Structures are given as C-alpha cells and as structure tokens.
Amino acid sequence: MIKDRMNTHLALVQQLASNDELIGHIQQTADVIIQSLKAGGCLHTCGNGGSAADAQHIAGELSGRFLLDRDPLHAEALHVNSSFVTAVANDYDFDEIFARALQAKGRAGDVLLAISTSGNSENVYRAVMKAKELDITVIALTGRSGGKIADHAQLVLAIPHDDVPRIQEMHILIGHIICEIVELALA
C-alpha cells in the first residue's frame, strides 16, 4: 500500500507538471496575489478540515516567511479566530462563518483563495459569493469537478483526481509554488 500511494502521488505530480493550462493558472494566481498585495490588498484563505489547515498554512507562509527573510505580507485564513467562528456558527449558521469574516475584513482589490476538494462546501461557496459582492478576486483550489465554487471564480486550480488525500497533497504543492513566486516578487 505504501508504494502504491507514493506511485499514485508521483503519477499525479507528473500529470500536473505536463498540464500547461494548470501551470498557466498557477502563474496567473501568483500574479493576481502579487498585484493585490502591492496595492495594499490582502490574501484571504478559507477551507474546512484539511483544507482549513492548508488555508492557514499558505497564509502563514506569506504573513510570516517562506524561504526568504522579508517584510510580512498581508495574508490571513478566515477561520483562525475560534471565538468568532463558534459565535457565528451558534448565532447564525456554520455556513456563514467565512462569508461573515470576509464581510468584516475584505475590501475591493483583495483576493480570496477558496479551498475545497469537492468545490461544494457551502460555507466556502458563500464566501465566494460574498467576495463577488465585495469585488474581491476569487481563486478556487479544488478537485476534479471544481464544484459550484468553480463557476464563480476568476481562476480555477482543479486537481484532476477524485481521492481527497491526493487532491490535498497537490493543493499544498501548488500553495508552496504560489508562495515562492509571490515571495520572490515581493522580497
């Protein structure tokens, strides 16, 4: 099983490396984030479960440091305030947690990186719809189908696979590549 998982991972990385459209979308994503940050904008990230961990990881790489010592960049995962998340989930609905956080923090010209392996997480979808209202660029990081968030994103980074762990592995690979491009441009 171990070798099988490693070989599946390797085959998927090779598939992505030969997908010129996806590579172009990764570069465009980095360019959009760079442009926003240069203009004083913020990268907001969101996701559930492992995707929440990836969202926080990517935001942390940019707001802290990735490979270079440099000034911090304005990036934040929308779920990091547990008191806010639990209050909104209790007082409103769990499906509203990211949209409400984005309503409070988001500004026109910001970027939302919406992470969902299915592309159909309701709270991520509602954040995408709120981002559209606020003139925030939406980038969807999803699995094969892209789900309903892909229909409302300016850029879609869809991993052509159906297995959640493999999709998540590719998400963090792409996240690290984006962080490196952004950091090199803004260091």
* Global confidence as pTM: 0.97
Phi-psi region of 119 (alpha: psi -120 to 50; beta: other; left: phi over 0): left
**How many domains, in total, are found in the chain?**
1
Candidates 30, 54, 58; CA nearest to 181 is: 30
User: The CATH number of the domain where 140 resides is what?
Assistant: 3.40.50.10490
pLDDT digits (tens, 9 = 90+) for 61-106: 999 999 999 999 999 999 999 999 999 999 999 999 999 999 999 9
Share of the chain above pLDDT 90, in %: 99
pLDDT digits (tens, 9 = 90+) for 4-17: 999 999 999 999 99
8 A C-beta contact, residue 51 and residue 143: no
Q: 3-state SS of the chain: helix, strand, coil percent to 5? A: 60, 10, 30
Residue 95: what residue type? D
d(CA 185, CA 91): 42
Boundaries of domain holding 111: 2-186
pLDDT category of residue 162 using cuts at 50, 70 and 90? very high
